[in-house]
């Protein structure tokens, strides 16, 4: 049997921009993607800590070291720069893999720089 399990989380990132005229997605600094193991075009879930909104979208890669967290498309209307968010991804693991699995948790500072990575 397979179960959907948390793979990684970027915790308390700060939204840097919102663009409702873009086709949709979340643009994330490449350094954060590398730290978390998330990849371009992967589905992610976003939880906004300021307004309790939740939505899913896909990842596009932002410039490394930029601290960029840009929410695009319709979701830009329910978020704003300065909002704190949690970005998570899930994967399917076989029940035999679950006991040894540890999700990657990336804790960031106010500028979206990784300060601690838990594995």
Active centre residues (catalytic)? 25, 58
Number of H helices, E strands in the chain: 2, 9
User: 97: Cβ–Cβ under 8 A, 6 or more apart, which residues?
Assistant: none
Q: Which helix (H) or strand (E) holds 34?
A: helix 30-36
* CA–CA distance, 80 with 17 (Å, rounded to integer): 7
CA atoms of 79 and 109, how far apart (whole Å): 19
């Amino acid at each position: 049997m397979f179960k959907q399990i948390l793979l990684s989380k970027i915790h308390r990132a700060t939204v840097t921009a919102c663009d409702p005229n873009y086709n949709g997605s979340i643009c994330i600094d490449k350094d954060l993607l590398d730290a978390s193991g998330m990849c371009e075009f992967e589905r992610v879930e976003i939880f906004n800590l300021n307004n309790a909104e939740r939505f899913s979208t896909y990842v596009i890669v932002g410039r490394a070291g930029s601290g960029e967290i840009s929410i695009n498309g319709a979701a830009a209307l329910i978020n704003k720069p300065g909002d704190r968010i949690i970005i998570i991804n899930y994967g399917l693991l076989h029940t035999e893999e679950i006991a040894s699995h540890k999700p990657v948790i990336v804790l960031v500072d106010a500028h979206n720089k990784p300060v601690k990575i838990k594995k």
